[in-house]
Chains A and B, each alone.
Chain A
Amino acid sequence: MTRFSSPIPEEKLSAYFDGELEPAERQEVEQWLTRDAASHATLTELGMMRQAIDASLAAEAAKVPQARFEQIWDEIDRTLDRETAAHMPTVAAPSLWARMFGVLRPAWVPVAAVGGVAAVLIVVVSSGAVTPANTDAVVASKPALTTPSAPVALVDTNPALAVAPDPESSFPAPDMHEAEIERIEFGGKNGRIGTIEGKRGTTTVIWVSDEDVGPGQRSL
């Protein structure tokens, strides 16, 4: 059985030392301490022990070289880097087009310049190719030229013919007055254009004769 050296239970004295007693109990202990030297000495010993523990552990901590703490900091630093990276939003891998664009970026301006020049050249060359001197095309058309001397053959755009679902019918039929046959050549043969009315509508027919024609009559 524990024999306390004072009427104050030492457990209560320990709690008083820690400041953990209720005000009434605290007052009771303080009154007792004024007349009990042993209890007062006990409090002193508790304070000494606290200081001894604190000093002892501080001495233990002082034994650890600073370099060891620096190692720990390095490890913490790396861990924080990893955690920070893990919380960063993931960046999607660049697409094939993006990668190609990236590769071509340095040559983008020269390529664009060359492309532009090429486009201009194509336009110039194209416009020269349609000059009348070079046109021995079998059939050529251009916007209506209503010269009185030129024979006119109208392209039959009868809706009855356009009904056929052939690929050509998918193109828009020219308006009667928008285009006209300017010139038809038959490889040096003469001929004429006529129409035949039938059950399926009007059919345009070109007759070619075997008779040679003079150079001035080749064009209709």
Chain B
Amino acid sequence: MVSPEADDQALVAACRTGDRQAFKSLMQRYQRKVYSVAYGFLRNQEDALDVVQESFIKVHRYLANFEGNSSFYTWLYRIVTNLCIDHIRKNKRHRELEFDDGLRHDGEDGGMSALPLSSLGDPAQVLQRREILDAVQDGLQYLSEKHRAVIIMRELQGLSYEEMAQAMKCSKGTIMSRLFHARRNMQKLLVERLGYVPSTLADATNEDRDANGVATPQVVLP
């Protein structure tokens, strides 16, 4: 019997021999991440949990087809994404308020540079603040399904544009444009939710810049 602490590859190999406990270990390792993705898409706890269950059943069913060309979690996230998109398509009549792709970026919203997050201090501390996390949830809630989908696929799952295009059955160019607009809408919603005034944010952002006028890097760039 393989240890629950074994790496994904070992657990997958054990699962293929019928080791149910190894499969449970694999599920326990990813269940909350899968839930995060599903909840990000669907915005409903029970729907998200249904997708978690369905995802792992599919994983078990098709584990023999997993060739190992990508990592297990990438493969898993693709399954989750497809299930979420299917779920959304089946339940379109229940969807929430949806924005068009072009809405909220008509040139009067200040653009990405007005995003207030970096003005709030150390990122680790900022992200622990309940109001920021709630604001993100509200922002996701009011994004269109397509915008929410690209945001989740990219920001949470790290899918490539090509993978996103396959999942959403559109071109890479469409994904690039859609993601850009989704980010701008998200940015706008965060600003509204947090109640910051763009001019103040601009000042705050300037405070983070060094003597040469270059903003202090706070994230690892690709």
Contacts and interface: CB of A to CB of B under 8 A. Distances in A.
Interface of A: 1-5, 10-11, 13-20, 37-38, 40-62, 64, 68-69, 72-73, 75-77, 79-80, 83
Contacts of A80: 20, 23, 57, 60
A55 to B, nearest CB: 4
Contacts of A50: 155, 219
Interface in B87-122: 105-107, 111-113, 115, 117-118
Contacts of A55: 127-128, 133, 136
Interface residues of B, number: 71
Contacts of B49: 64, 68, 72
A38 B130 CA distance: 28
B140 interface: yes
Interface string B112-146: 11010110000100111000111011001000000
Given A49-B187, A51-B123, A57-B156, 14 more contacts: A10-B112, A19-B222, A20-B160, A44-B218, A49-B186, A53-B136, A53-B140, A53-B186, A54-B156, A56-B133, A58-B36, A69-B31, A69-B32, A69-B52
Given A14-B183, A18-B161, A44 B137 contact: no
Contacts of B40: 53, 57
Interface in B178-218: 179-180, 183-184, 186-187, 190, 205, 208-209, 212-218
B77 interface: no
B27 to A, nearest CB: 6
A77 B222 contact: no
A51 B209 contact: no
Contacts of B45: 64
B219 A40 contact: no
B127 A52 contact: yes
B215 A37 contact: yes
Nearest to B40: A57
B186 A72 contact: no
Nearest to A15: B176
B186 to A, nearest CB: 6
Contact of B213 (A10, A14, A37, A53): A37
B28 interface: yes
Given A14-B176, A47-B221, A80-B60, A75 B183 contact: no
B112 A45 contact: yes
